[in-house]
Amino acid sequence: MAQQQSNEEGTALIHMHKPEWRCSMISASFNFINSIIGSGIIGLPYALNQAGLPFGLLLLMLVGFITDYSIVLLIKGGNLSGSNSYQSLVQNTFGFPGFLILSALQFLYPFIAMISYNITTGDTLTKVFQRIPGVGPDHILAERHFVILLSTFLFTLPLSLYRNIERLGKVSFLSMVLTLTILIIVMIRAATLGPQIVPTENAWAFAKWNSIQAVGVMSFAFICHHNSFLIYNSLEHPTLSNWSRVTHISVGSALIISAAFAVAGYTTFTGYTQGDIFENYCRNDNLATFGRFCFGLSIITTFPLECFVTREVLSNVICSRPLSKAEHVSITLLIVAVCTALSLAYDCLGVVLELNGALSATPLIFIIPSACYLKLCPGHWFHGEKLIPIMLIIIGLFVMITGLILIGVFPQDCSHGVEMFYCADANVSGTVPPE
């Protein structure tokens, strides 16, 4: 993750020091794939449930293409404006008001992500703990509120209090290994558990009405623009052609992994698929329990990284100077406390993913890179090179506005912390299949 860099006038930009080391295109591609594939992948089966399997896959490929295109566009804009970070690009293009808007979005994205991490931790680890002998559904370790508070005090808060993000840098490789492990588990269960669950009505329908909300979840899973300049500057030969090649390889590989995960998860549970796919697996499934443990560990190690970005945005915009030790601790405690309180009060992960995708990820992927390029690139607005950016802005605004409206008007139900009807012990707290 990049440190942030202040601008010449002392206003806050996220510190991103140009790396002294250089890496090959293969190494850069691996780093980029790792930055794309993260915790958001867990919600992709739910996105297919929202959009329909065939149409959902088409949307996933479209989001992948737009991500690829906008990342290249971002670097083109950086070259045109002489910028070496997303923040400096926006400020050089739209001035201080543009910087404030980007800062707000860069605050909201990790902030809402931290809420989703806490929700996932509570849902995931409670089922892991229930596999411990003597820990039943009524045990305190099976209470999601207690588990969220426990993981916050023991792990996420202490790790979030670090002032130097480099101490957290080694978690990226671990996160990648854990994600691939989870993918293998989901694919195994698609082959072994899927045939035992009768598909829901219209499970294989081409498209469903909630497709716009699905785009929000997909955008949340694919956003990686905050790392683009760092990886670009790390190349041995940072040219636009080399960067385009790295981007195509990275996004293409991430798309294949994400599509495999989404299809395996959705085809196992069809219309019963939850925002957190591990909510669908039974408590007595040891393989799924191991997957839950891997995902819970991944989430706990990722939370502090998001907290670092959120704290930096706040400190840069409000203070415009390095924080004192007391200020650093106070702001960190405030951020973690608010995130924890919201995650304790609300427990439906799917809606949180939709909200973050529509409110934060969509403008960061669709709108802002295109707007910067349109303003910086000379020539008429209807010139051939500008048509796609114009289309992306229109699509992004439509997805953002429509998605937010649908989230408010048609909030999605979610099954939280209970056994599904197809589980062996569903007679105690299980759900029943929809009519």
Tens digits of residue pLDDT in 52-83:
999 999 999 999 999 999 999 999 999 888 88
> Where does the pLDDT of residue 113 fall: very low under 50, low under 70, confident under 90, or very high at 90 and above?
confident
Whether residue 38 is predicted with pLDDT greater than 90 in this model: the reply is no
The pLDDT of residue 416 is 57
The pLDDT of residue 59 is 96
- Residue 319 CA, distance from chain mean position: 28
Examine residue 4 and state whether it is found in any structural domain, yes or no: no
The pLDDT of residue 427 is 40
Instruction: Give the Cα separation of 303 and 115 in Å (integer).
Output: 9
Examine residue 241 and state whether it is found in any structural domain, yes or no: yes
Indicate the residue type of 372: C
- Residues of the chain with pLDDT > 90, as a percent, come to 33
**Phi, then psi, of 413 in degrees rounded to 5:** -75, 155
What is the number of domains present in the chain? Answer: 1
Helices (H) and strands (E) in the chain, counts: 17, 0
The pLDDT of residue 288 is 92
> Where does the pLDDT of residue 429 fall: very low under 50, low under 70, confident under 90, or very high at 90 and above?
very low
Tens digits of residue pLDDT in 178-198:
888 999 999 999 999 999 899
| Average pLDDT rounded to a whole number, residues 326-352 | 87
The pLDDT of residue 268 is 95
| Average pLDDT rounded to a whole number, residues 327-346 | 91
Computed over every residue of the chain, the mean pLDDT equals: 82
Examine residue 228 and state whether it is found in any structural domain, yes or no: yes
> Where does the pLDDT of residue 165 fall: very low under 50, low under 70, confident under 90, or very high at 90 and above?
low
Examine residue 5 and state whether it is found in any structural domain, yes or no: no
> Where does the pLDDT of residue 148 fall: very low under 50, low under 70, confident under 90, or very high at 90 and above?
very high
Query: What pTM was computed for the model?
Result: 0.80
User: SS3 of 398, please?
Assistant: helix
Higher pLDDT, 113 or 163: 113
Examine residue 67 and state whether it is found in any structural domain, yes or no: yes
Neighbours of 290 (CB within 10 A): 15
Tens digits of residue pLDDT in 89-101:
998 999 989 988 9
Instruction: Give the Cα separation of 254 and 118 in Å (integer).
Output: 25
Whether residue 204 is predicted with pLDDT greater than 60 in this model: the reply is yes
| Average pLDDT rounded to a whole number, residues 343-358 | 81
Examine residue 403 and state whether it is found in any structural domain, yes or no: yes
Instruction: Give the Cα separation of 146 and 144 in Å (integer).
Output: 5
Higher pLDDT, 174 or 417: 174
Examine residue 399 and state whether it is found in any structural domain, yes or no: yes
DSSP 379: S
CATH number of domain containing 83: 1.20.1740.10
Examine residue 16 and state whether it is found in any structural domain, yes or no: no
Tens digits of residue pLDDT in 365-406:
999 999 999 988 877 766 667 888 999 999 999 999 998 888
| Average pLDDT rounded to a whole number, residues 351-367 | 86
Tens digits of residue pLDDT in 216-263:
889 888 888 877 887 887 788 888 888 999 999 999 999 999 999 999
The pLDDT of residue 58 is 97
For residue 106, give its domain range. Answer: 25-429
Judge whether 257 and 89 are in contact, CB under 8 Å.
no
- What tokens were used for 109? 């994205």
Judge whether 366 and 66 are in contact, CB under 8 Å.
yes
